Amino acid sequence: MSKAEILALALAVTAVGCDKKDDAPKSAPAPTATVASSTGAAASAAPAASAAPTASGSARSYALEAGGKVAIDMDAPKEHIKASAGNVGGELKIDLGNLAATKGDVKVDLTTLKTSTFNDPGKDGKQTEHALTWLEVGAQATPEDREKNKFIVFSVKSVEGLAVTDLAKVAPTKDGADEVRTVSGKVKGEVTLHGKKAAREAEVQIAFRGPADKPSRVDIKTTKPLMIVLADHDVKPRDNFGKLAQGAFNLLGTKVANDAAIVLELSAKPK
Specify the higher pLDDT residue, 2 or 211.
211
| Options 2.40.128.110, 2.170.120.12, 3.30.70.890, 3.40.50.300; CATH of 59-270 | 2.40.128.110
Q: At residue 105, does pLDDT exceed 80? A: yes
Q: In angstroms, rounded to a whole number, what is the distance separating the alpha carbons of residues 77 and 253?
A: 7
DSSP H helices, the chain, are: 3-23, 121-134, 143-148
**250: confidence class by pLDDT, cuts 50, 70, 90:** low
Q: In angstroms, rounded to a whole number, what is the distance separating the alpha carbons of residues 189 and 159?
A: 9
pTM summary value:
0.76
**212: confidence class by pLDDT, cuts 50, 70, 90:** very high
Task: Kindly report, as residue ranges, where domains of CATH 2.40.128.110 are found in the chain.
Answer: 59-270
Q: In angstroms, rounded to a whole number, what is the distance separating the alpha carbons of residues 50 and 177?
A: 41
Q: Is 262 exposed, middle or buried (0-12, 13-18, 19+ CB in 10 A)?
A: buried
CA-nearest of 234, 222, 229, 233 to 253 is: 229
